[in-house]
Amino acid sequence: MKIVADANIPFVKEAFLSIGQVETCEGRVLSPEQITDADILLVRSVTKVNASLLAQSRVKFVGSATIGVDHVDRDYLNKHSIGFANAPGSNATSAAEYVITALMLTAQRQGFSLQEKSVGIVGCGNVGSRVLKRLTDLGVRCKVNDPPRAAKYTDLDYVSLDEVIKADIVTVHTPLTKQGIYKTYHLFNKDAFSALMPNAIFINTSRGSVVDESALKSVIQKRQDITLILDVWETEPAIDIELLKNVSIATPHIAGYSIDGKVRGTEMISVAACKNFGYASHWHAENAELPVLTPINLTDQQIVLQNLSEEQLLYKTVLSAYDIVKDDVDLRKITKMPLADRAAHFDHLRKNYPIRREFASQRVKVTPEYKALSGKLTALGFNL
Please list the active-site residues.
Answer: 207, 236, 253
Q: Characterize the bridge pairing of strands 169-172 and 2-6.
A: unpaired
In angstroms, the CA 142 to CA 228 distance is: 19
- 104 SS3 class: helix
Whether residue 91 contacts residue 262, with contact meaning beta carbons closer than 8 Å, is answered with yes
Report which DSSP code applies to 333: G
| Phi, psi dihedrals of residue 220, rounded to the nearest 5° | -75, -10
Helix axes 126-137, 371-379, angle to 10 degrees: 170
In angstroms, the CA 2 to CA 341 distance is: 33
The set of residues, in sequence order, having a beta carbon less than 8 Å from that of 91 and lying 6+ positions away, is: 66, 67, 255, 256, 257, 258, 261, 262, 264, 265
Report which DSSP code applies to 32: G
Give me the residues paired with residue 171 across strands: 121, 203
Report which DSSP code applies to 352: T
The set of residues, in sequence order, having a beta carbon less than 8 Å from that of 18 and lying 6+ positions away, is: 274, 279, 280, 281, 282, 283
